[in-house]
Amino acid sequence: MSGTASKVGTLLVQGPHRKGIVTSVSQVLNGHGATILDSNHYSDAPAKLFFQRLQFDVSTLATDRVTLEKEFREICENAGMSWRVWYADRAKRVAILTSKQDHCLYDLLIRHRNRELACDISMVISNHPDAGPIARHFNVPFHHLPVTTDTKARQEAAAAELIDRAGVDLIVLARYMQILSPAFVTRYPMRIINIHHSFLPAFVGGNAYRQAHEKGVKMIGATSHYVTAELDQGPIIEQSTVRCAHRDSVEDLTRKGRDLEKQVLAQAVRWHVEDRVLVYSGKTVVFD
């Protein structure tokens, strides 16, 4: 991360639409000497909700961050709005969970090495040993946590301990072929991103490419979404599609789909670590 980028703060605000909220937030920043670098906002008129993403230069602050945040808190609480702020001088820590299919894992690690993802990859966790050499090649700590039906609770507890001890901010399921328990998902609300190999809500669950082939679809897709207790029903962050034909076999669909999976998952991770995503009513606002 460049020195200039590390001096940026990102503020996210959401809640009931209130007249003057944009002006109020801007006045707080100006009053503390912060220079506004970028501002985006969106209003959902039917829901009467407001969303804002604002970036500012931390280096010009005339006060400290604690004082600034105190005023943010007062304004947002008075308006019945939620808010959060993140400073780029502390990159988000990411844990990747994977199984035997390694295409998404490789892609994330390569993008991270090429500085396309503004985060720190703290670890790779897998229920199979296959990903070990890959993680070690990229100098990322690897943890093999095998799982069976009888050991699932203990395996998830061990994973949670590793994740919490490392201060992980985001968990990425890079084709992790295990259904997480509701308890594990609840522990990390809107902090787990999954890649599903279909254009949701079509073809939920496993064997999506086989289901697509059996239906004779002319287009397949991939969906990246936050994980909730209901399988493959979490708020969607990103989706993409590719054409297919009657001649395509299940293997052809799988090959085409894997390219989509990599792109869609990487985009969702990028948007999350850059604080571009706000969740409401089971869906998302994504600021580009």
Residues designated as active site: 232
Give the number of other Cβ atoms within 10 Å of residue 22's Cβ: 15
User: Of 39, 10, 8, which Cα lies nearest the Cα of 23?
Assistant: 39
Distance CA 47, CA 49 (A): 5
- In whole angstroms, give the CA distance from residue 120 to residue 141: 12
50/22 Cα distance (integer angstroms): 10
Structure token digits, residue 221: 């897709």
| Largest interatomic CA distance in the chain | 65
Structural contact between residues 123 and 162, judged by C-beta atoms closer than 8 angstroms = yes
Rounded to the nearest 10 degrees, how much is the dihedral formed by the CA atoms of 135, 140, 146, 152? -130
Ramachandran bin of 157, using left for φ above 0, alpha for ψ from -120 to 50, beta for the remaining angles: alpha
Give the integer Cα–Cα distance in Å for 248 and 254. Answer: 10
Three-state DSSP class for 45?
coil
Q: Which helix (H) or strand (E) holds 134?
A: helix 132-137
